[in-house]
Structure formats: C-alpha cells, structure tokens
Amino acid sequence: MTINQHSQTGTNLLQTALAKPYHYRRSGRYYLRLRPQGTAKGFFTLSLRTTDKATAMTISQEILQTLKAYHFDNPEATWDELRERLIDIAEHSLTMAFGDSSLVAYEMINDEHHQALREASAKMPLSVNQQRAVSKALEIIEASQDRMKGRPGKLVEIVRDLKGESCSTSVALTPSLSVLQIQPMTFKTLSGLYMEERKDSIQASTMRDVKSTCDVIGAILGDLDLKNHSRDDMRNLRAKLLEERKPSTVRKILTRLSTVMDWGVNNDYISKALTDGLKPTKGVDSAREAFSQDQVKALMTHAKTLPVDSWQRWALSLGVITGTRIEELRQLTKADVKQVGDVWIIDINRDDGKTAKTKNALRVIPLTDGAYGFDLQAFRGFVEKVDSKLFKLGVGQFSGLLNGMLRDVLDLKADRTQTFHSLRHSLAGAMKAAEVPVGTAESILGHASGSISYDLYGAGSGVEVGRMAEALKVAFAV
C-alpha cells in the first residue's frame, strides 16, 4: 500500500502516540489515515488498494497490528523489546491454521505488509533498532509465504535464531551506500525494484500475478548476480521451467522475465538482459482447457439446486451464460443489471471505483433467458433484494470459493487446467460452433477493438445489443 507522509515543521510523527485511525473512500477505493494525538498535522495516508469495505477493514486491522508490533510510535524502543514482538509474529505465522480461502487472503495481506514495511523503512524517520526490526520482519513475511506453500524451513530457522539470540547482541548499523552498490543484483532484488516503481500504474490483481511469476523466476535463479550472468544461466532457467510446466506457461513466465530484465537495463541496474529468443515456440497453445458441453450442463444443473437467494447460484450461472472474467463478475452492482430495449444485460464498466482489465473489456452482455435452464426472472428477483453489490466477498475468497465449487462438482484436479476462466473458452467455443460472426463474439467477450458501453443509450445501441442477444440464443440453441 502506498504511504504518503506529510510531516509538518516541528512535528515528528514518531514522537507521540497515534490518534484513532481514520478511514475514508476516494474514487471508490478505501484509505487509512494516521496522525499523532493532539494535532491535525504530521499525518500519513495508506491506500488499502480495494473498493470492498470488508476487505479494506480486514487489511486495515492487519496494518494497525503491524504498526503496533514495531513500536512505530516509540522511537526509544530497545532491540530486545522489538525482538520479543518479532518472535510472537514469527511463531504465530508458523503455527496458524489456514483454510483454502484464508490461505489466499493471507498471501495478499502478507504482500501488502511487505510493501508497507519497505516504504516505511525508506520514507519514515525510524530509529536504528526499528530499521533492524523492519529488516527482520521482511524476512519473516517472505518465510511466511513459503510456509503457506508447505515450506516452513526458513520460518522455523528464523524463530530459532531470534529465540537463541543473546540479549546483549549489538545493533548492526545500516550499511553505507557504497556497500549497497557492491551487493549482488539478484532477480528477487531487481523484480522488487521493478514492482515498487510500477505499483501505482498496475492494477492490484495484475500486480499479484506479476509477483507470483517473479517469485517463480527468483526461486530458480536464487543468488545469481545478474550483473554478471550469462546466456547459459538464462537457458538453464528455461530448462528448469520446462521440467514441470507446459510450454505455454513457460512462455508467459519468460515474457515477464524479459520485461523485468529490460527494465533493469534501462534503469542501469544491470548491463545486459540476454533474454532475446529465449521463449519456447513449440507447444505454446493455451494450457487452459474449455469445459465440455456435458460439464457446462452439469454445472448449471448444480446451480439450479441452490436456493434462489444464494450468491453461488447466480455467480456460477452468469459465468456460464456471459463468459465474464471472474473479477468482472465479482464487481457487479445492482445498477449494472439493466434493460436496453427488450433485452436485459449486465454492464461491465468502471463506475464507482470498479476496475476492468482493458478498455476493450468495457462492454454489455445480454442475459439469455432459458440458456442451460437459466431463470432470468428469478435472477432479477435476487438482484432486487441486494443493497448494491451483487457479491459481497473479497477477491481471494470469491475466486477461491467459486473455483472450489467447480472442482467439487466436476471432480477436477487442482492443476488450473480447468478453472472458472475456462467458462470463457466454453462460451467462445459455443459461439464458434454456431458460426457467430467474429466481431459479435469479440464484443461479447470483450476482445473487440471498440465497445458499446460508452454509448449504451445512444443511437443504434438497441440494434447492437439485439444482435448480440440473437447470437447468444443461437449459440445456446434457446
């Protein structure tokens, strides 16, 4: 989360206790503002990077616990005091039990903590002991991410070292700039610098994908100094990636590698990239598989067994009949379900702080009554009863529960070959089989070069929506 510190003359944020936190919303996103007690000055603001209130409050509480843990309101804190807090945090991270949904949520929260602490270290006037604690905390967070992937070794070692450390251990001074300059430039370090610079221009959902991909690369390259790497190092990386992954997946990972490495060259962190021509060209078809018609019918049969007021019923049904991306679906509001002429549609837009993958993703999609048994009237009844958002869950929980339901209903393997996103491929296949014109199919899926969302009620909009509605009826054979 971004920290904007506004220190005023004579006011040091860290010399007094913090006042009650203040939350506010701007352009749909939630923010947390902190300030010293007894003054309106010297505050700093943290973006919570979400438009969902429940998610914002969860992340906010985690942030406040983090601030408390590092005595950010007490620059006189001793290393022993901070070390005890670090032990508590590390042990909690090591022993905490997780479910599938909480694993996803805490991975996101840990990412936010890691970034917040790095920015605090860079921008806030912390004491030497506090800086030392932040440095160790970053190690704990990174080890916690490994532990949630079933690799607890690093976290166990950190707990052991903290508990075994003598109370008289001297405080290590911050290394000089000249020392930092001669340190090796690992991919983990380089990608961290890249993500830090791009954090304000990349959407949170995309940034999570960037981090995940960079973590994969960093784990293989390890301590390799990119200031002195060779073409063989890059070939070995590709070979290691291909051992357990499909060529299409490796191609995407190496595309990210090339982006980060080129950025490193352009910003003078490294002198060469050596990634040209590295991506595999054979077997790079998409690893994502569409659901068969029998699978789609089984999903809709299951959906219809759920109560009419169940969000799962309508999330699954809309995925089947509209081919929306999962985050497009999660952000839908009551106002996004509307009628154009005689056709009911959902409107994918950026109103009220909602996000969209690209400008072309902004579109309207007709709702096809009767498609696989979809009950439009029952869905409208569900929409009427909600206050605003159709689905109340945060990103990780919404995705985790929906994909978990797909796996349970269809007895799928957890290899991401078939996921909620596969419903888009299924709809695309159905339209292709029905010989729907490419331009119409692109408009429905959000791949077209233009969008009618900007002119929803303009001249010809009814004709455009009607054309898409008829195409979907043909594809679904309604």
pLDDT tens per residue, range 54-106: 767 766 776 666 566 556 556 677 888 788 888 888 887 888 776 655 566 66
What pLDDT, in 10s, does the model give residues 298-326? Answer: 999 999 999 999 999 999 999 999 999 99
Q: Has residue 171 got a pLDDT over 50?
A: no
Q: Has residue 162 got a pLDDT over 50?
A: yes
Q: Has residue 338 got a pLDDT over 90?
A: yes
Single-letter code of the amino acid located at 440: T
Domain residue extents for the chain = 49-165, 187-266, 293-476
Q: Has residue 269 got a pLDDT over 60?
A: yes
Q: Has residue 168 got a pLDDT over 70?
A: no
Whole-number pLDDT of residue 79: 81
Whole-number pLDDT of residue 442: 87
Lowest mean pLDDT among 84-88, 226-230, 322-326, 343-347: 84-88
Whole-number pLDDT of residue 416: 67
Lowest mean pLDDT among 12-16, 240-244, 350-354: 12-16
Whole-number pLDDT of residue 166: 44
- Quote the percentage of the chain above a pLDDT of 70: 75
- Quote the percentage of the chain above a pLDDT of 90: 26
Which carries the bigger pLDDT value, residue 256 or residue 356? 256
Task: Please determine whether the domains at 187-266 and 293-476 fall in the same fold group of CATH.
Answer: no
Fold entry, domain 293-476: hpI Integrase; Chain A (1.10.443)
Reported confidence tier of residue 457, pLDDT bands at 50, 70, 90: very low
Which carries the bigger pLDDT value, residue 211 or residue 64? 211
Reported confidence tier of residue 287, pLDDT bands at 50, 70, 90: low
- Token pair belonging to 181: 């300059």
Whole-number pLDDT of residue 386: 92
What pLDDT, in 10s, does the model give residues 421-446? Answer: 889 989 989 999 999 888 888 889 88
Q: Has residue 391 got a pLDDT over 50?
A: yes
Fold entry, domain 187-266: DNA polymerase; domain 1 (1.10.150)
Whole-number pLDDT of residue 478: 66
